[in-house]
């Protein structure tokens, strides 16, 4: 019976995360288009038909409807159930990593905003200031609630990556976007300086490999830019869950 109760609890956690990220799908779609995501019911972007409540069950309904609108048959991007499933997985990871504590809720809120940042930046090459402010609010609330890390580490995190990025950009115009710099300042206030540095290293590594691939396949020229925000967001997500272990492993390489 205990095993069944645990499975049911994890299923609830997954569905709660998927449901919240289902709403974030709406934010990702509407925010760049300057459409309110607070008012107005969800609708098909092709035929404008209002979605029924039973057509909005996260993940499941996309497969049930075979990726098509019930009314007009228009194709629905696989991104929608993928983002919902991501929300469920992240919710489970937060509970696994932090337990059913305040840290888990703060981490999930942080990851939710990062997800919106990543997809909006990938679509538009811009990071809206409102999303950066959202991360700042989460960081300040977490600090006020005395959640780890300590304020000293948070304040160092605020500047340890964002200021060097700013200086590099002043020296080499276009090296980093203004949104990336502000994102790292806000995220550093949440993560603290250690995890912020780990996240930046992971982002530079993966982003650099992606840039090399773009050049090798001639999908981008040497002077063309690509969205770096998604790599920063992925780096921060990995650092949030496994940053301490990665840092210990890296430092351990120098212990002889």
The confidence score (pLDDT) of residue 180 equals: 98
When pLDDT is averaged across residues 15-37 and rounded to a whole number, the result is 96
Residue 6 sits in the same domain as residue 110: no
Residue finishing a domain among 77, 100, 123: 100
pLDDT tens digits for range 97-129: 999 999 999 999 999 999 999 999 999 999 999
Which residues constitute the domain of residue 81? 1-100
Shared-domain flag, residues 213 and 227: yes
Contact between residue 139 and residue 107 where contact means Cβ atoms under 8 Å apart: no
Q: Which pLDDT value is given to residue 42?
A: 85
- Dist CA 39 CA 22 (whole Å): 15
Query: 202 with 91, same domain?
Result: no
Last residue of a domain, one of 100, 118, 136: 100
pLDDT of residue 48: 86
- pLDDT for position 222: 67
What is the pLDDT, as a whole number, of residue 83? 98
- pLDDT value for 54: 85
pLDDT of 2? 62
Domain count, the chain: 2
Contacts of 251 (CB under 8 A, 6+ apart): none
Identify the residue with better confidence: 223 or 226.
226
Q: Are residues 79 and 69 in the same domain?
A: yes
Domain boundary among the residues 100, 125, 141 is at 100
Q: Are residues 158 and 87 in the same domain?
A: no
Residues 177 and 238 in one domain: yes
224 and 245 part of one domain: yes
The percent of residues in the chain predicted with pLDDT above 70, rounded, is: 98
List, for residues 147-173, the tens digit of each pLDDT value: 999 999 999 999 999 999 999 999 999
Q: State the Cα–Cα distance between residues 98 and 247, nearest whole angstrom.
A: 19
Name the residue with higher pLDDT: 39 or 177. Answer: 177
Share of the chain above pLDDT 90, in %: 80
Q: 240 and 222: one domain?
A: yes
């Amino acid at each position: 019976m205990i095993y069944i109760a645990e499975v049911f609890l994890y299923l609830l956690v997954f569905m709660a995360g998927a449901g919240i990220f289902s709403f974030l799908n709406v934010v990702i779609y509407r925010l760049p288009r300057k459409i309110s995501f607070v008012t107005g019911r969800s609708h098909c972007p092709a035929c404008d038909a209002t979605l029924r409540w039973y057509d909005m069950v996260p993940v499941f309904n996309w497969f049930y409807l075979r990726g098509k609108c019930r009314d007009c048959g228009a194709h629905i991007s696989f991104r929608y159930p993928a983002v919902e499933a991501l929300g469920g997985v992240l919710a489970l990871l937060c509970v696994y990593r932090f337990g059913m504590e305040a840290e888990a809720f703060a981490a999930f809120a942080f990851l939710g905003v990062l997800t919106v940042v990543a997809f909006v930046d990938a679509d538009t090459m811009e990071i809206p200031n409102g999303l950066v402010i959202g991360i700042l609010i989460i960081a300040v609330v977490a600090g006020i609630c005395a959640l780890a890390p300590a304020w000293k580490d948070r304040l160092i995190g605020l500047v340890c990556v964002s200021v060097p990025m700013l200086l590099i950009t002043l020296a080499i115009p276009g090296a980093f976007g203004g949104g990336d710099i502000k994102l790292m300042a806000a995220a550093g206030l949440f993560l603290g300086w250690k995890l912020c540095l780990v996240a930046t290293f992971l982002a530079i590594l993966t982003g650099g490999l992606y840039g090399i691939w773009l050049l090798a396949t001639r999908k981008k020229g040497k002077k063309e830019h690509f969205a770096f925000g998604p790599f920063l967001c992925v780096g921060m997500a990995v650092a949030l869950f496994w940053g301490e272990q990665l840092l210990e492993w890296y430092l351990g390489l120098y212990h002889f």
